[in-house]
Structure 1
Amino acid sequence: MFDWLIVGAGFAGSVLAERIASQRQESVLLIDRRSHVGGNAYDCYDEAGILVHLYGPHIFHTNSAAIAGYLSQFTAWRPYEHRVLARVDGKLLPIPINLDTINRLYELDLTSEELEVFFAARRETVEQITTAEDVVVSTVGRELYEKFFQGYTRKQWGRDPSQLSKSVTARVPTRLNRDDRYFGDKFQNMPAGGYTRMFRRMLDNPRIHIMLQADYRAIRDRIPHRRLIYTGAVDEFFDFRFGPLPYRSLSFQHVTLERERTQPVAVINYPQDEDYTRVTEYKHLTGQVHPCTSLSYEYPSDTGDPYYPVPCPENEALYKRYEMLAAQLRHVWFVGRLATYRYYNMDQVIGQALATFERIQRTVSAGAQATDRAEAAE
Structure 2
Amino acid sequence: MFDWLIVGAGFAGSVLAERLARGSGKRVLLLDKRRHIGGNAYDHYDDEGLLVHAYGPHVFHTNSKEVFDYLSQFTAWRPYQHRVLASVDGQLVPIPINLDTINYLYNLRLTSLELEAFFAERAERIAHARTSEDVIVGKIGRELYEKFFRNYARKQWGLDPSELDASVTTHIPVRTSRDDRYFTDTYQAMPLRGYTRMFERMLDHPNIKVMLGVDFREVERSIPHDQVIYTGSIDAYFDHRYGPLPYRSLEFRFETKNAPIFQPAPVVNHPNEHPYTRVTECKYLTGQEHPKTTLVYEYPRAEGEPYYPIPRPENVVLYRKYEALAAATPGVHFIGRLATYRYYNMDQVVAQALKLYAKLTGLPRKQTTLAAAA
TM-score, with length taken from structure 2: 0.96
Separation in 2 of the partners of 1:330 and 1:135?
A: 41
Partner of 1:108: 108
What letter matches 2:82 in structure 1?
Answer: H
Work out the percentage of aligned pairs sharing the same amino acid. Answer: 62
1:331 to partner: Cα distance: 1.3
Q: What's the secondary structure of 1:279's corresponding residue? A: strand
Give 2:225's aligned residue: 225
Q: Which amino acid aligns with 2:362?
A: R
Alignment size in residue pairs: 363
Give the SS at the match of 2:169.
helix
Q: Which amino acid aligns with 1:86?
A: A
Quote the offset at 1:23 in angstroms.
Answer: 1.2
Which residue in 1 is equivalent to 2:91? Answer: 91
Alpha-carbon distance between aligned partners in 2 of 1:21 and 1:171, rounded to the nearest angstrom: 36
How far did 1:264 drift?
Answer: 1.0
Query: Which residue pairs with 1:361 in the alignment?
Result: 361
Q: 1:17 offset after TM fit, Å?
A: 0.3
Aligned AA (2:188): Q
Counterpart position of 2:307: 307
Residue 36 of structure 1 corresponds to 36
Deviation at 1:299, TM superposition (A): 0.3
Tell me the amino acid that sits aligned with residue 150 of structure 1.
Answer: R
Q: Could you give the per-residue CA deviations for residues 266-296 of structure 1, whole angstroms, max 9, x where no partner exists?
A: 1000001100000000000011100000011
Give the match's secondary structure for 1:193.
coil
Superposed displacement of residue 161, structure 1: 1.0
In the alignment, what sits opposite 1:117? 117
Match of 2:196 in 1: 196
Q: Is 1:5 equivalent to 2:5 in the alignment?
A: yes
Q: Tell me, in whole angstroms, the C-alpha distance in 1 between the residues paired with 2:213 and 2:329.
A: 26
Instruction: Tell me how far 1:362 sits from its aligned partner.
Output: 2.3
- Mapping for residues 1-378 of structure 1, pairs under 5 Å: 1-362=1-362
Give CA-to-partner distance per residue, 1:234-284, whole Å, 9 cap, x none. 000000000000011111110111100011111000001100000000000
Instruction: Please tell me the residue identity of whatever aligns with 2:345.
Output: N
Distance 2:90 2:144 in 1: 15
Q: Which residue of 2 aligns with 1:371?
A: none
Runs of 4+ displaced beyond 4 Å = none
Q: SS of 1:31's equivalent?
A: strand
Post-superposition offset of 1:132 = 1.1
Q: Deviations over 1:103-141 (max 9, x none)?
A: 000111000000000000000111111211111111000
Shift of 1:226: 0.5
Could you say which residue in structure 2 is the equivalent of 1:372? none
What is the distance in 2 between the residues matched to 1:196 and 1:48?
18
Query: 2: CA distance between counterparts of 1:130 and 1:63?
Result: 28
| Structure 2 unmatched runs, 5+ | 364-374
Structure 1 segments unaligned to the other structure (5+ residues): 364-378
Q: Supply the distance in 1 between the matched residues of 2:189 and 2:333 (Cα, whole angstroms).
A: 30
Match of 2:366 in 1: none
How far apart are residue 171 of structure 1 and its match?
2.1
Distance 2:213 2:271 in 1: 36
**3-state SS of 2:316 partner:** helix
The CA deviation at 1:78 is 0.2
The CA RMSD over aligned residues, in Å, is: 0.8
Q: How many angstroms does 1:168 deviate by?
A: 1.2
CA distance in 2, matches of 1:47, 1:171: 38
Report the equivalent of 1:370: none
For 1:48 and 1:130, the matched residues in 2 are separated by 47
3-state SS in 2 of match to 1:338:
helix
- Amino acid paired to 1:10: G
For 1:149-170, what per-residue CA distance to the aligned partner results, in whole angstroms no more than 9, with x for missing partners? 0110111111111111222112
